[in-house]
Structures are given as structure tokens and as C-alpha cells.
């Protein structure tokens, strides 16, 4: 029964006015990043920061980087964060193309080029700093694939 719940306290309208955050953290990731938000918000509160955290749409890293109106690119106060796991790029490939290390190499070289170009475009219209975090990849099929992913990460960092 609703009558079993205690009454809600009266709200002080001045105190409950929404305060605009001093900092905004926008996170775009190649994987599901929403589970990071409660931890970020906890630390903002613990540190006494007037900060907000939000995520860009799932798996839309390139689109967020290229679109000047995206949450990542239009952030005016704070930091934009890109979380990238290079192994996630291979999800795009049909299974028959993942069997050949040469196909993987060609695909990853092309993807690195596109990502670097997108990051440079983003930096051309971004107002705040962009933090790129290379997250560890997982589930290597072969030692060759593991080496290729490490090489791809190095190329990415070298080009940025």
C-alpha cells in the first residue's frame, strides 16, 4: 500500500535547482562504457567536484570523432575520453576474413589510418582535451594475432 511509505520531505526549490557542472567528462568507447559512470560520479562527489559524466552511443567512436555536433566533439568544459580496444575492430570482419593474418593486417592498417584521420579531424574542432586510452585486448586466436594487435597499437600511438 502506498500509505505504508513515509511521506516525502518538502523540497527547498533553491537548493534543488540544478547546478551546471564545472566539468563534463564525455566517454566514447569501442565497448560498453556505461558501467564506468557510477564510479566516476562517486569520485566526483568524493573529491568535491561539480562534474558530470556521460557516454557517447555504444560503438560509435569514429562517428563521434568526425561529427562536430557529437557529445564528444561539442564538449565545452572538461575532457573527452576515447577508450579503445584494438581487438574490437575485428568484430566488424566476417569470420572467413579473420582466418588470414594477411587479411587482418590489411584491415587493421586501413582502420588505423581511418582512426588517425578521424582523431585529427576531431582535434580540429574540439574545444577541450581528448584523452585516448588504449585498453588491453583479449582473446587472441594465435600468437601471430597477438603480435599484430600489439603492432597495431604501436602504429596508432606513433601516428597520433
Picking from 102, 64, 100, 70, the residue whose alpha carbon sits closest to that of residue 82 is 64
Query: Looking at the DSSP assignment, which residues form a beta bridge with residue 79?
Result: 25, 129
Of 20 and 86, more confident = 86
User: Which pLDDT tens digit goes with each residue over 3-15?
Assistant: 665 665 554 444 4
**Model pTM above 0.85:** no
Hey, what long-range contacts does 42-51 have (CB within 8 A, 24 or more apart)?
49/22, 49/23, 50/19, 50/20, 50/21, 50/22, 50/23, 51/21, 51/22, 51/23, 51/24, 51/25, 51/78
Angle between helices 143-159 and 101-125 (to 10 degrees): 20
User: Which pLDDT tens digit goes with each residue over 40-84?
Assistant: 999 999 999 999 999 999 889 999 999 999 999 999 999 999 999
pLDDT bucket at 21, cuts 50 / 70 / 90: confident
Average pLDDT of the chain? 87
Output the pLDDT for position 68.
94
Q: Distance between alpha carbon 9 and the CA centroid of its chain, in Å?
A: 38
Whether 19 shows a pLDDT value over 60: the answer reads: yes
Amino acid at each position: 500500500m502506498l500509505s505504508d511509505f513515509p511521506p516525502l520531505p518538502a523540497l527547498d526549490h533553491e537548493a534543488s535547482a540544478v547546478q551546471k557542472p564545472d566539468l563534463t567528462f564525455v566517454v566514447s568507447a569501442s565497448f560498453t562504457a556505461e558501467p564506468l559512470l557510477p564510479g566516476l560520479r562517486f569520485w566526483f562527489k568524493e573529491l568535491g567536484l561539480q562534474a558530470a559524466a556521460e557516454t557517447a552511443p555504444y560503438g560509435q567512436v569514429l562517428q563521434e570523432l568526425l561529427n562536430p555536433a557529437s557529445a564528444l566533439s561539442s564538449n565545452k568544459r572538461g575532457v573527452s575520453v576515447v577508450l579503445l580496444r584494438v581487438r574490437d575492430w575485428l568484430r566488424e570482419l566476417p569470420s572467413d576474413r579473420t582466418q588470414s593474418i594477411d587479411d587482418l593486417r590489411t584491415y587493421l592498417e586501413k582502420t588505423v589510418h581511418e582512426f588517425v584521420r578521424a582523431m585529427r579531424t576531431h582535434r580540429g574542432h574540439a574545444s577541450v582535451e581528448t584523452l585516448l586510452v588504449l585498453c588491453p585486448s583479449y582473446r587472441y586466436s594465435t600468437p601471430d594475432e597477438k603480435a599484430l594487435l600489439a603492432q597495431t597499437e604501436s602504429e596508432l600511438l606513433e601516428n597520433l
